[in-house]
């Protein structure tokens, strides 16, 4: 067991590459993204967010559109579900240690809830697997820290992704956190490395399904390769969980692709932010 594992604090893996490792610079970048948005206020209780996970220079502005809706709202527990990019494994890895560290400090783990979650299904295991180097979960945390301040985290990384497992995970999440002031975050980018016109057509399907709160049709398009999302499983889990928690509407707040940042439309990656809420 390494020194890091012995302390059960997950150290930052992509600070200084995906986002600034200097706390002041990190706060300033997040604040810039939050201020650089048209005013739009979601009325009602927000139960979930879908957020991209590229480097902040590419997707930070899109992520900010969703997270800005959380300003002034209180959550005691945040579940973040991300795909695994570096390790392949079955089911979901729940890191039920002491905390997840970023340059803005250590986010404490909701250890009791995390372990209860792992006890509910053989699909969920308390493990470091998938967490050590994964960026998709980590990049959500500075936004959450900056906007919410104090909260407890349930960090979940999904290995192989299939529809039935994603639905089951969503149902278990809702069951465990239904009595908490809780938020569910799904981490996902969209299509990868198509020309912009192709990417926009594929991503438009994802946008439509998210706006319709239709995770079944969303998964159908993923299966038929009419759309892409590296975190399709986390998205389905989050939509299932938030619907059971009381959300009755889902809305995409901002869509962009990497070409909008770089000016290169030859091979882009798509990003959206969305919220699931009750009206």
Mean pLDDT confidence for 238-247: 98
| Bridge partner residues of 192 (DSSP) | 269
Q: Which residues contact 251 (CB under 8 A, 6 or more apart)?
A: 42, 210, 211, 274, 275, 277
Q: Kindly list the strands in the beta sheet with 99-102, ordered across the sheet, starting from the edge strand earlier in the chain.
A: 9-10, 99-102, 105-108
Residue 4 has pLDDT above 90, yes or no: no
pLDDT tens digit sequence for 66-86: 999 999 999 999 999 999 999
pLDDT for position 139 = 98
Residue 110 in contact with residue 185, Cβ under 8 Å?
Answer: no
Per-residue pLDDT band for 220 (boundaries 50, 70, 90) equals very high
To the nearest whole number, what is the mean pLDDT of the chain?
A: 96
Instruction: Kindly tell me if the per-residue pLDDT of 9 is higher than 50.
Output: yes
> Is residue 82 within 8 Å of residue 157, measured between CB atoms?
yes
Instruction: Decide if 121 contacts 34 (C-beta within 8 A).
Output: no
Look up the CATH number of the domain holding residue 31: 3.40.830.10
Domain that holds residue 156: 3-278
Q: What was the pLDDT predicted at 7?
A: 59
Task: Calculate the CA 238 to chain-centre distance.
Answer: 9
Q: Which range is least confidently modeled, 7-11, 25-29, 156-160?
A: 7-11
- Burial degree of 68 (CB within 10 A; 0-12, 13-18, 19+): buried
1 pLDDT tier (thresholds 50, 70, 90): very low
Task: Work out how many domains the chain is built from and give that number.
Answer: 1
Q: How confident is the model at residue 235 (pLDDT cuts 50, 70, 90)?
A: very high
Q: Please say if the pLDDT value at position 244 is more than 50.
A: yes
Q: What's phi and psi for 122, nearest 5 deg?
A: -70, -15
Q: What is the pLDDT of residue 39?
A: 86
**In this prediction, what percent of the chain has a pLDDT beyond 70?**
97
Q: What is the pLDDT of residues 39-54, one digit of tens each?
A: 889 999 999 999 999 9
pLDDT in tens, 18-27: 999 999 999 9
Count of Cβ atoms closer than 10 Å to residue 132 Cβ? 16
């Amino acid at each position: 067991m390494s020194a890091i594992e012995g302390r059960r604090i997950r150290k930052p893996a992509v600070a200084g590459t995906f986002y600034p490792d200097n706390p002041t610079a990190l706060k300033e970048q997040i604040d810039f993204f939050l201020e650089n948005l048209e005013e739009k206020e979601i009325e009602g209780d927000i139960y979930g967010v879908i957020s991209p996970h590229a480097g902040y220079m590419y997707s930070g502005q899109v992520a900010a559109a969703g997270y800005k809706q959380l300003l002034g709202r209180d959550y005691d527990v945040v579940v973040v579900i991300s795909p695994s990019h570096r390790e392949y494994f079955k089911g979901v890895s729940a890191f039920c240690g002491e905390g997840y560290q970023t340059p803005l400090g250590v986010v404490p783990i909701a250890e009791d809830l995390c372990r209860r979650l792992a006890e509910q299904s053989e699909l969920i295991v308390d493990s470091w697997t998938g967490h050590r180097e994964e960026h998709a979960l980590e990049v959500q945390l500075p936004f959450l820290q900056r906007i919410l301040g104090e909260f407890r985290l349930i960090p979940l990384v999904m290995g192989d992704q299939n529809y039935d497992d994603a639905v089951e995970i969503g149902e278990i999440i809702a069951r465990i956190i239904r009595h908490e002031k809780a938020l569910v975050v799904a981490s996902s980018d969209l299509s990868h490395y198509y020309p912009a016109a192709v990417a926009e057509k594929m991503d438009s399907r994802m946008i439509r399904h998210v706006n319709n709160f239709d995770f079944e049709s969303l998964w159908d398009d993923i299966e038929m390769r009419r759309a892409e999302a590296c975190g399709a499983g986390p998205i389905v889990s989050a939509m299932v969980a938030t619907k059971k928690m009381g959300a009755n509407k889902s809305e995409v707040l901002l869509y962009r692709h990497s070409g909008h940042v770089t000016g290169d439309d030859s091979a882009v990656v798509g990003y959206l932010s969305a919220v699931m809420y009750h009206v």
